[in-house]
Amino acid sequence: MNRQIAIIGSSGGNLYNLGGKEPRKLLDEILVQMESAGLSCGALQFIAAGVSMDAAKETTPAALYSWSSSQGAPVIIAEGTLQQVNQAAERLDREIAEQIELGEIDGVIVMSADPEGSNRHAVEACAKYKLPVTGTGGTSMAMIQAKGVHVIAASGTTGTTNRTRAVTFVTSLSKHWRIPYRPVIGTAQASSSSGSGSSASPWRRINIRGMMMASLPGFIGMALVLAVSKIPGLSALSEVFDLMIKALPVILAAIAAKQVSELDEVSIVAGIVAGILSVEGGIIGGILGGIGAGIIVHYLFRKCVEWRFPATTVNIVAGGISGLIAGLIVYFLIAPIALSAGEGIRTLIETLVSWSPVMAGLIAGLLIWPAIIGGVYHAAILPIVLLEMETTSNSFLGAVDMVGLVMVSAGITLANMIAPRDKGEAAVAAPGFAMNMGFGTFVEAAYPFMFSNKLVFAGAIASAGLGGMLVGLFGVRGTAYVPSFVGPITSNNTFGFLISMLASLLCSFLITFFVNKMYVYRSAKSTIGM
């Protein structure tokens, strides 16, 4: 039979700012980790106040969470002022103490408890029956220990997160009972009964494409700053642009570390530390530093917990030391190689384009739809776009993306709004057109029309080829993922980019328009013939 755990405490003072103000997320994380160790929740008494307990008054709004065995989840059993909730909590405290006396509780997790008030009876029962207790909250845990409670692990709250606290609690209990436990390093869902989360090796979570996509807003922000800096009177923003370029490796490192380790704030801190030390390696150095930080923080965190470091120290050591180790490795060993690799890729692209810009644009345009349909775009083209943008904020392939994908999709959807094959297609096309023009994304809106008619599909590829050819002709460097009217402003050739965009849009529009008209004409003719 699974060991039954009681969870008692409150949203706390310092804890309130470190997860306590979102009690469901805090409790769900603990429940997920408990389930991974084969532990069950036997009782719950958690007072969630509307503000930090350091500033709370008797009239502060609050809620009392208890455990519902039928629902297998935390439920609110009392709401009102903090004074009213405390009164309800004292009754629940007596019930939990009775469960302990009856042998229905095997261990206790404590967070910012009140051993002299709303948790007095449960704490006294723990001391009497020598139940293993683990928890956070410096003052409350000191008071609990003074009452003779068998505390197997105690820590302050500073520097902890919902996940690191939960892992620390469950690790302490599992080591005490010598039961197997593998931390669930994934996102806790609304209920622990779902068994959500992932304890997969951090090596399996390395996904360069995902890291690049998550970091894209930073690159777009940089491009926008460069565009605005060209406006008369705003040239001072060019210094901001230079600063943002230096920050790109830090952004990528933080994203990489978080995705690899999935330890929330701890991994983000490790990634930032590694990223700062990886700046000289460019975005490749940032990615490598972040991946290294994520891997190291994953294992170092677990080791620190196994060594029974206090939760605060676990976070400091895992986050800080992991970032330093990974960052220093990149700084002294990998940065020059990573920087050279990035420069080499950019030089290769520029060399290929310089040989025949028009031909390079044409080929890129013709291949970009097959690339995105075949899944190659995000895996190969997008990383190259970001590498190009690292130094100039715009890109040759980024410009081809805008004219060959976004504008072509806009043209196809616009034609289906004006001259659809049937009335229902206009309603389907309109949102896609708005997304293409307003946000520079969601090119997939054209898929239904391309896949249902080979001529429209061929027209899309031809239009993309035309746009790419013009990008090469005008020597355009630009980006997608921005509103269509912003695209030309962020490019190195506003007029050339605008012409290229309009050409692609108009070409795909006209082809789709006449294909649809032909389809409607043939359908009408067939109906008359019948």
pLDDT computed for residue 191 by the predictor: 37
The winner for highest mean pLDDT among 190-199, 486-495, 505-514 is 505-514
Per-residue pLDDT band for 500 (boundaries 50, 70, 90) equals very high
Q: Compute the mean pLDDT over every residue in the chain, rounded to the nearest whole number.
A: 87
Query: How do the domains of the chain map onto residue ranges?
Result: 3-189, 204-344, 356-529
**Biggest CA pair distance of the chain:** 96
DSSP H or E segment with residue 69: none
Asked whether the beta carbons of 300 and 261 are under 8 A apart, the reply is no
- 3-189 in CATH: which number? 3.40.50.2300
Is pTM beyond 0.85? Reply is no
At residue 200, does pLDDT exceed 70?
no
- Comparison of pLDDT for 75 and 240, the residue scoring more: 75
What is the tens place of the pLDDT at every residue in 201-240? 788 888 887 788 788 888 888 777 877 777 778 888 888 8
At residue 405, does pLDDT exceed 50?
yes
- Comparison of pLDDT for 358 and 427, the residue scoring more: 358
Residue 19's nearest CA partner among 266, 253, 221, 232 is 266
pLDDT computed for residue 529 by the predictor: 60
Residue 495's nearest CA partner among 481, 474, 472 is 474
pLDDT computed for residue 378 by the predictor: 67
pLDDT (mean) for 403-413: 95
Asked whether the beta carbons of 499 and 405 are under 8 A apart, the reply is no
- Comparison of pLDDT for 321 and 384, the residue scoring more: 321
Asked whether the beta carbons of 270 and 326 are under 8 A apart, the reply is yes
Alpha-helical runs (H) found in 184-281: 208-229, 237-261, 265-277
Q: Residue 45 forms beta bridges with which residues? A: 8
- Within 8 A by CB and 6+ apart from 117, the residues are 86, 90
- Comparison of pLDDT for 123 and 182, the residue scoring more: 123
CA distance 248 to 281: 11
Per-residue pLDDT band for 528 (boundaries 50, 70, 90) equals low
pLDDT computed for residue 129 by the predictor: 94
- Comparison of pLDDT for 209 and 136, the residue scoring more: 136
What is the tens place of the pLDDT at every residue in 22-73? 999 999 999 999 999 999 999 999 999 999 988 889 999 999 999 999 999 9
- Within 8 A by CB and 6+ apart from 483, the residues are 437, 438, 439, 440
pLDDT computed for residue 188 by the predictor: 42
Structure tokens at 244: 């943002």
Tokens 């261990």: give the residue: 107
Per-residue pLDDT band for 187 (boundaries 50, 70, 90) equals very low
pLDDT (mean) for 242-250: 86
DSSP H or E segment with residue 515: helix 494-529
C-alpha distances (whole Å) from 367 to each of 40, 456, 465, 502 are 55, 16, 8, 20
CA distance 152 to 87: 29
At residue 250, does pLDDT exceed 60?
yes
| DSSP class per residue in 12-42 | -STGGGGTTTSHHHHHHHHHHHHHHTTEEEE
Asked whether the beta carbons of 321 and 271 are under 8 A apart, the reply is no
- Comparison of pLDDT for 328 and 167, the residue scoring more: 328
